[in-house]
Every structure is written in C-alpha cells, then in structure tokens.
Structure 1
C-alpha cells in the first residue's frame, strides 16, 4: 500500500483465510526477504497499521477521495444472532452516551479496552464454517439430529457437529461480556447502567401475558363493537386511537394503516407502517444470488443450503404476515379516577387528542405452517406507547417460542410510508393533493429515504458499483423525508454530505439513541384462525412519496425517523422486491423505493454466521425488538 509522495509503504503479510499469524520465524523471514526484493533500497521493519495511517496524514490531500457508500456485501450476517447484536448495540450506546455526557474519556484505558473487545462482536467470523450434515433439513429431521448430537459422546463417529457449532457461537458472544466487564473496575456506574438494560433483552416465558395481568395493569380490552366501528379502518371519518400527539388505526395484520403526526397522514392501507413480514426461501433464491455474487472460479461464497432440494422438497419460497388477536388499551388522562371502561373508550375520540397519552397492546399470530414447518415464533406481542407532548411512538415486539430451523428464513419489521398528506385542523379532511396545494402548504412532492451510518447520513442510491445497495447497518435510524438539493459540484451517485458534529480528531461523534422504557407488551392468549399467506409487496409511495434516483428538488417539510435499538440491518424494498437478506445486485439502485424493513434475523449464510436460531439450549427462543417512530422538523 503506497501513497503519492509518501516515502513509506505498507506490506501486508496475510496467510490464507482465518489462518492466523505467520506459523514460525522462518515464515516471517521469508516475508522480509520478499519485501526487500521488491524495495531493495528501503529499510524493512515490523510495524502496525496505525503507524502507517499516521505517516499518511500529511499526504491526505494527494489521495483520491471516495464519498460513495461502500455497501458491505456480508452485512446481512450480523442479524443471524439477534441477541448478540442487540447486546452489542446496547453496550455501544452506553459507551457513546457516556462519552457524549463527559462522564467517560474516549482516550481512557478502560474505555479503550472495552472498545477493543466490543470491536470483535460485529466482525464476520462468528464460529465454525458449517454443519457436517447435508441430509437433515426439514424441522422434524433436524430436531432429531440435533437431539442425537447432544446425547452421544463428543468423539463418537455417529455425531454431527451441532454441539461444536453452538459452543462456537456462544463463545463469540463472550466478547460482548468482555467489553462490559472491562468497564467494571474504573467505570462501575456505566457498567451497572448497561447491565440493567441488558437484562431486558431476554424475555422470560413465565412473564407471558394474560388477561388478568393486563387488566390489573390498567388495560381494558377493545370490544367487538369498538373494533367494528372502525379501529381497523384508515378512513378519515373512522374512530381512531388518539394517544398524546399521535393518532392511528391498526390493520388486521398489526401494522399501522393510518398514522397522523404533525398534522399529516403518513400511512394508509396500502402504505402500512410496522408490518411484520416473515419469509422462507428455496435454493432458487441462492442460485439467483450466486449468479450475481460469484467468487473465484464460480465459487458460491458459502451462500447455499447443500442438498436441501433433495431432503426438504416441500420447503419453498413463502411469505407470511401475522393476524391480530385481542387488543388492549391503557389510556392516561387528567381524570385518574376514571374507570377502566371509560379509559378504554376515551382514545376513540374522532377529533380530539387525549391528554397524557396511551399504550396499545395486541397479540399477533402467524399461520401454523410458518411456526411448525419453518421458524416463525409461536406468538408476538405488539406494544405501541405514546407519551403526551412527544411526537413519537415507542414500539416493542416481544416474541415467544421461536422455532429452531435450518431452512432459510428471515423476519423483517417493515415500513412503507406514503408522502405525508396534510390535514385541516377542523374536520380532519385531507387537503387536495395538487402541486399548488403542495406549494401553499409547504408540502414536498418528493420524499426519499436516507440512513444514519456511523454518524453520516447516506442515501441507499449512493452505493458504489460492486457494493451492496440493499442492506445497510444503521445506527441512529432510517429517515423518510423531503429531498434536498445537492451541491452542483457533486453529481448524483458520487457524494453525500457528512452530517453531525466532529470531535478533536475530525471523526464524527456517534449520535445517542436513547433507551426509553415502555409498558410491557403482555396480553391474553386466545385461539386464532389460520393466517392467510400474503405474497404481494405493499406498493406504498409507488406513484408519489417514493425514493428514486434523479435530480432531487429543494423542498421543506417534516421527516419521519424509524429507529431500531436492537436490530442493525435495514433492507430496502421496491415494487418488485420486498425487504430481503439476499444480495440482488452489485450496481446502484435504479428503481424507486417503496419502503424499508429492519431485518430481525436471517440464516442465509452457510459459513461464517449461525445457521439456525435459537441455538442456546434454552432462553433464546424468546426475543425482544424495540423501535421508535419519531417526527422530526
């Protein structure tokens, strides 16, 4: 590695993949001999990447500057262990907040040591390179092989390597523990605060909901007549749930079919917000990806499920969304002595916003096939909380009894907002959707998506050639807002302005994503009918409100931020492709976007990441995911 005018060069001495440092001193001497032959007049010495970066600093102005998003093509793997990623993000938020508040010094040895361990968590080698089993694919066969593996002696020739795989993935989780433990001696307050937050990430089966526990907590069930009066309708005249500064309706699939924030309508039946989408895949999906993402000599780069076609012929590409069950409401207002029944009716006021705010809890269920034949959770509890005076919704998804499966799967929490429609203050009628009205009401015609990555706001359309435009690890959130004018010196697709404050080193300071407590999402169990399968992609913003390439116009208007505390990877969607963990193209996006989905988990990579989840003996089958939907000016 060389730079124009730099009198130093960096020579990497790699062994083969994952093989570690040079095996012996002869190997080191051989590397030095090769370097001396290439640079006969140079002084050759062992050094570090940090020393080389420091030497390059005076020559930075002579280097080519690439401002496009690189688009990590392996990023989908980090969601294969959702608990590990949630733990990593919680610890990282704690460290960032501590530094931002001045309670921690980023140069302190304790903080540096914790960061050193934390750095290993998102790195891509998480365990052994695959399962020694290409025949047990469907859930019943896999379950039998998995249990057999746990019962036979470790050295038995009849044993598969599932126990070894589990231990490797569990071992990699320890780096999060090491990072947290490193804070204890000299930053015990930070350690204790983070540890308390981490305890929330593993829901317990004994805390499963019940009608009694909810009513005791002040929740009241929504009656059939209330639901019939329009809870599931997005029509402007329908009764609505009004909580704090927000009002919304809920679809039969548990998504927001209407969301009014800041006097604008952001959702519709065809533009749902917060839709759970569970997908299963077939070998055809891997064939399609490997046709795009070819390794040396046509290698499949570890993406595939060998012989799944032969031993799981019934496994196929399927899409599932849940169906909503019982809904409960808890409404807070000035009249604290009001009965629970009165509270249950108050949020349905059609025009006024109730004081205090409220919390909505509902049970979601997937089709039994998704749970039995694949890996969907047995039940999901949705909790939406709104506090008066805050233009945001806190969303929690608590999932119980996720099925362990080797079959390829992915779960996304997706949002397909429409370009926000203004509403009048009186009757709640939508203002006519015309260009003249848009100008008069300061209402932007074109909206798009941007994402916060390591403190920089990037567009998914800014990904470089041979990068991954569809999946991005997001820090603070995904933004749906008005397009802005780019600098005339920066053609579309090559640059995007860096946002945010920088510290004394010039590096951006990571934004704080606050962890807010919300009401536990518990409700009553009930019998549900089979859930119909849905294969259509919501075409939110297909005609308007879509993010598309081309010269954006200057425009003012509100922005909706979708933040994820626990899941890192956001996958974009268009009219032809729902959110997916698969790499579909190595070229920049060309079709308008209709939405984005946070990937909660997937298992498509057969090499470097967990191949099934849960893999812990017990406890991992219950999951928690937290989100925030917030209005920003």
Structure 2
C-alpha cells in the first residue's frame, strides 16, 4: 500500500434537525452553543503554533441559517472563520431523502453552497450525506452541472449498505458522473493504492456538537503515532477531492440505481407528504404564470422551508422520548395515550433498551415532534404573498376527502362484473371495487381479472415479519443492539393481545353507482372491510374509490377517499395497486429527480423493493404507452407489495405497481401512528398503438 504523506482530517458532527430533541431546540443549540464552540475552538488552535488545528465542516444550510440569524458580532466572527478556512461547508444543505425531492428543489439546496461560494470567493466541489443508507442516481446529472465532483455517503452502521466498491465513479445514463466514496458508517478512513493522501473522519455523534480541545489534541497524537510519516492536517472534503480526482480514470464505474432503503418512512405521514407535493406543483405553476420569481427572496424562503420536509429527520427518538413497549393493542394504546404519561416498562425482556430514556415521557410530547415537522409547510406558505398563499389554501381544501352528495335521480346503480361504456373505454368492476376489465376504443385490453386497476388492500404485521427483516437487513447487532432493536423493530409486539398476525385484507363493494356529466362519467365504489380491522387496527371506517372517465381523451382519474381512520400503534400498511396488462413489462420506468429509471437496474443491497417517484411510473411498449401518475402518494413497490422484506430479489413487473398509502413499520424517527382523513389521487393515461 502506498505510504500516506498527508492525512486529511475532517471534523464533523451529524446534523439531525430533530431526533435528539424537538427540531426547534436542536437548531437553537447549534446557533447558541455548537457553532460558537466551533468558532472558539478553531480560533484558539489557530493562535497556537504547531499543526494541531480545527476546521469544522457542515452542510451549507446550517451556515446560511447562522449568517441570517446571528447577531452582528457573531456574524463577523463566522465570516472571519470562513475567510480563514476554519469553518467550511460542503455542496449540499443537509441529509435528505433525495427521492422525495424534485429537480428544482434539489437544485435550490445546492444553490445555498453556490451563493456562499460567490459571497466568500470559494469553490466547492465536494458534498456529503450521512445516515440514510442509499440515494438515487437521478441526482448525478444535477450534481455534475453544479460542479460537484466528489460525493461522500456515510451509511447508518446497522443497516445493509449497497454492495458497491468503497470508491467508484457513479455514471448516469446521460453520461454525467462523479466520484463517490461509500462507507458503512457515518465516516471512516479512506486510503487508496497510488494516492499519498488519505481521508479520516473525526465524527461526533448525532447533534453532539464539536469536540473539546483536549479531544482534538488526543486525536492528533493518536493519528501521528499511527501514521508517523504523514502530515496530519485539519482539512476539507474539497481538498481531498482534488487529490482523489487525479485517480478517477482508475476507478470502477457503477451505472445502476442504488435507491433509499429507508424510503418507506415517507409514507408514515401521508398528510404531510401530499401537501408538500402539492406545493411543489403549485410552485411550478406560479413560476410558469409569472406569479413567483425564482430570483426573489420570497421564493428562496419558500424553498428553504419546503426543503426541510424531505430532510431525513421526521420526529423524536422513540426509545428516548416514548419507550413504551407495553401498549400496542387498540384499547391499551388508546388508554395510554389518554393518560399521557409513560410509566416504566413492565416487559423485562426489553429492559436493556431503557438506558437512554427520559424520566418524564408523554405521548403528547412525542406526537408534537411530528406536528413540528408539518409546520414547515406553514412556514413555506408564510413566505408567499397573500394571493399565492390563498391559492395554496384553496388547493389544500380540494385535497380533503369527501364524496359529493347525489340524489337518487342522478345515480345509476351498477352491477359488479358487468361491462359498461364509460368515456373512451368499456369497463367492468370487480367485487373489491377495482377495474377488472378495461378495453379502449381500439379494442386494446388494458385490464382483466388477473391485471386489475385500483386494488385497495390493508396489511397487518407480526413479530415474524420483523424477525425476517432483521435477518435480511439489520447488521452489526453485536455492537449496536441496544438501540437498533428499537429503531428498526417493535419490541414487545409479540405480547400484544390479540396477538398480531401478518395478513392482507381486501374490501368488498358496499355500493356501486354511476354519475353522468356532460364531459365525464364518474363511478363511485363504496368499500367495506371487516369491522374488527378498525376496532383492533387502523383501517378507515369509510372508504370510497371514485373513477372519472373523461369523454374526450383516454385518461382515467382515480381517487381513494379514506375517512374516519383510527390511530393504530400496531404495525399496519395500506396499498392501492395498479396492474395494467402489458406485452413487455420490463419496459416500465420510474421517475426520480427528472430521470427515468428501470426498477430492474438496482445494485445488490440497494432498494430493489420500494421507491419514491416524482410524478409517476411510465411504460412504452410496442402495443402502446401508459402514464401512471401519483399526485399524493410517492412510495411504490414494483411487482408486488413488499414491506419489511429485503431479500435482494426483483418482483416480476407483470405484477404491476403498488402504492404505499401509509405505513408505520419504522420503530423510531418517523410517525408511529396516523389518524388523518385522506384523499389519494392518481391519473392513468392509456394510449394504444394500431397493431398489425
């Protein structure tokens, strides 16, 4: 191995905007304690002789927030530290679930570092994300056109990390590329044959702030002893990137998608993610109409707040702020929530998980961290003028579920498994409310009994599901089980009464009727599930699927209205599935950050089971094309519904696409229960080619 001559030490702490406390308190701690401490430390060591120095690296958002909100004296100190390279930013604002973003919002995040570069005469070419185990190749073209050439990705140490080389060139379909360093922890040492420079991360934990001066001195002494011939230097990702880019031509090339194996967490709060997506669409409409200037301060604040929604922290740490392994079943959960005080756990089996728990814990405090995350939407709206804010408010009103009342004279009762001419299609509906036959005006069959459209299902989970998931996905338990068992599991679930089972349930049609309009035909299918599912679990008491068939084109609008959903702490999931009949199902593509990607082209131990899509799923085959757009629910499984499954297999795409409307299977960070009423909207456009 090449002798190391220079060891680039990157001092960093992991930013969770929340998790260790309410997000507001976390940010206050950074602004009033951690950043001033970093300034003090860097200033003190800068005055001392010798090579022991301190350079603190953060995402651009934190520095931008400090410069915006700090008092003049502290702002001056920060600017001096920036000019002297003692405080530095990398090319991204913070760690996000990239698949939840669109290209414009992602680009806005990068613009924070670009503007800081322009303001202070810097040139940022490196970026970093931490904790989230995987990301989409859709970001590569955007990063390249913003001159980000090196990306460090540090994965959570207890989650399967993608099977990729530690250093590689990640090349997108359009030829854009960047060098990636992947590690199976927040940041580890990197040494490459042929390179005299090595990389070393000096990390403090989640929201721990900078190290003490004693710890810095000890680290330098330790590293100098380990690398006696090397210069130990407090450095930056940019400085190391310049060195590693010299060997870019020697690195292996990866062209596959990786994906985000945490993405199912996005469906833990469907209300928030649906309104976030609505605001992204409205932003585009306002820009196109000249109502919102992308160069304005209003736009910048709007995007800044909106960007906090896909930030990877969605709530408090469960085993610190709740730690209740006794109250899972519906009655016990409702009583504990009403009591709003968590007592010491009675389940001795999991006593080892109680070490970090707060003495005073409550359900309301824990839930407030999820509301705080929703408040980012209000903060984004507050940046807009009154007219645009009112327009957004009207859009949100339209998102509320509820079926318009029609008189008996307006309604025509339909029978299941009977064909009807609706719009440009001949349609039949199954006993579960889905479309089980769909033929267009060219005679093309798009759905049959084996390939149905609009299938609702509700899934419950048991301890056996988590046992399998831990076997397939969770790593390093020997070291980290004291927190991983909670974060990725549901400790105590096996003691709930009645004992949870893994089952999938399908509704039956309670009523089916047609409303004819001058330009469209609307079919309403009222659905019914067994009553024990909303008494013991969390399925909505009232559900209706509305199908709208336009008379002038081949588009079908699908809405699922889900009302009176009880909060449920038992692990649950709801799905709406579309299984169109296609000749060449391998042609399906999903959209992420503007890129069309195949669900079948994902690396081993990337997420082959579940994705988040920007606008939808698209098919172009010899017989025609399909656009399956999802307005509100971005998380989707190709081939078959797969939660708590990580076996590296690809489900056959002939099995269609299964949108995860909601789940609460995570054990921490994301919302643990959900009780809002929802309307989930989809658009299906089917265009057949004339065939021989």
Same fold by TM-score greater than 0.5: yes
Report how far residue 603 of structure 1 moved.
0.6
SS in 2 for 1:599: strand
Q: 2:331 aligns with which of 140, 143, 152?
A: 140
2:422–2:549 Cα contact (<8 Å) kept = no
Distance 1:388 1:590 in 2: 35
Report how far residue 262 of structure 1 moved.
5.6
SS in 1 for 2:427: strand
> Alpha carbons of 1:466 and 1:330: their partners in 2 closer, same or farther (altered >3 Å)?
same
> Alpha carbons of 1:14 and 1:194: their partners in 2 closer, same or farther (altered >3 Å)?
farther
Report how far residue 408 of structure 1 moved.
0.8
| Structure 1 residues 382-410: Cα deviation after superposition (integer angstroms, max 9, x where no partner) | 21112222211111111111121111110
The alignment status of 1:289 with 2:469, answered yes or no, reads: yes
| Structure 1 residues 269-293: Cα deviation after superposition (integer angstroms, max 9, x where no partner) | 2221110010101000111111101
After TM superposition, the structure 1 = structure 2 runs for residues 413-428 of structure 1, keeping only pairs within 5 Å, are 413-419=576-582
The alignment status of 1:166 with 2:367, answered yes or no, reads: yes
> Alpha carbons of 1:391 and 1:449: their partners in 2 closer, same or farther (altered >3 Å)?
same
Q: 2:531 aligns with which of 354, 357, 368?
A: 368
How many residues align structurally?
474
SS in 2 for 1:252: coil
The alignment status of 1:381 with 2:544, answered yes or no, reads: yes
Distance 1:473 1:145 in 2: 34
1:257 alignment counterpart: 436
SS in 2 for 1:14: strand
623-632 or 143-152: bigger deviation: 143-152
Report how far residue 68 of structure 1 moved.
1.0
Distance 1:59 1:460 in 2: 31
1:257–1:268 Cα contact (<8 Å) kept = yes
RMSD over aligned Cα atoms: 3.4
The alignment status of 1:305 with 2:490, answered yes or no, reads: yes
Report how far residue 166 of structure 1 moved.
0.6
1:149–1:162 Cα contact (<8 Å) kept = yes
After TM superposition, the structure 1 = structure 2 runs for residues 124-523 of structure 1, keeping only pairs within 5 Å, are 124-130=312-318, 131-149=322-340, 161-182=362-383, 184-185=384-385, 189-203=387-401, 213-215=405-407, 219-222=410-413, 227=415, 232-233=416-417, 239-243=419-423, 245-261=424-440, 263=442, 264-298=444-478, 299=481, 300=484, 302-333=487-518, 356-419=519-582, 444=583, 448-482=587-621
Greater relative contact order (Cα < 8 A, sep 6+): 1
2:301 alignment counterpart: 113
Distance 2:377 2:216 in 1: 33
1:73–1:583 Cα contact (<8 Å) kept = no
> Alpha carbons of 1:321 and 1:116: their partners in 2 closer, same or farther (altered >3 Å)?
same
Report how far residue 446 of structure 1 moved.
5.5
5+ residue gaps, structure 1, are 334-355, 420-443, 483-555, 615-619
Distance 2:507 2:399 in 1: 23
Report how far residue 21 of structure 1 moved.
3.0
| Structure 1 residues 14-42: Cα deviation after superposition (integer angstroms, max 9, x where no partner) | 322x2243155666677788889979558
Distance 1:454 1:318 in 2: 34
5+ residue gaps, structure 2, are 1-151, 153-166, 168-178, 180-191, 344-357
Report how far residue 606 of structure 1 moved.
0.7
> Alpha carbons of 1:297 and 1:158: their partners in 2 closer, same or farther (altered >3 Å)?
closer
Report how far residue 111 of structure 1 moved.
2.7
Report how far residue 610 of structure 1 moved.
1.1
Distance 2:334 2:373 in 1: 24
Distance 1:20 1:101 in 2: 45
| Structure 1 residues 330-363: Cα deviation after superposition (integer angstroms, max 9, x where no partner) | 2134xxxxxxxxxxxxxxxxxxxxxx32112221
Q: 2:650 aligns with which of 584, 589, 607?
A: 589
The alignment status of 1:569 with 2:635, answered yes or no, reads: yes
1:14 alignment counterpart: 203
2:419–2:426 Cα contact (<8 Å) kept = no
1:248–1:259 Cα contact (<8 Å) kept = yes
Report how far residue 123 of structure 1 moved.
2.8
1:565–1:625 Cα contact (<8 Å) kept = yes
After TM superposition, the structure 1 = structure 2 runs for residues 32-111 of structure 1, keeping only pairs within 5 Å, are 44=234, 64-99=252-287, 104=292, 106=294, 108-111=296-299
Report how far residue 324 of structure 1 moved.
1.1
With the length of structure 2 as denominator, give the TM-score of the two structures: 0.62
Distance 1:117 1:35 in 2: 40
Distance 2:388 2:365 in 1: 34
Structure (1/2) with the larger strand percentage? 2
Distance 1:288 1:455 in 2: 34
Report how far residue 326 of structure 1 moved.
2.1
Structure (1/2) with the larger helix percentage? 2
| Structure 1 residues 518-574: Cα deviation after superposition (integer angstroms, max 9, x where no partner) | xxxxxxxxxxxxxxxxxxxxxxxxxxxxxxxxxxxxxx231222211111100123x
| Structure 1 residues 589-622: Cα deviation after superposition (integer angstroms, max 9, x where no partner) | 26554121100000111112111112xxxxx2x1
Distance 1:31 1:120 in 2: 34
The alignment status of 1:607 with 2:668, answered yes or no, reads: yes
Distance 2:215 2:489 in 1: 35
Report how far residue 52 of structure 1 moved.
8.2
Distance 1:110 1:59 in 2: 43
1:80–1:611 Cα contact (<8 Å) kept = yes
1:500 alignment counterpart: none
Distance 2:411 2:525 in 1: 11
2:270–2:662 Cα contact (<8 Å) kept = yes
2:557–2:682 Cα contact (<8 Å) kept = yes
Distance 1:383 1:168 in 2: 34
With the length of structure 1 as denominator, give the TM-score of the two structures: 0.67
Report how far residue 116 of structure 1 moved.
2.5
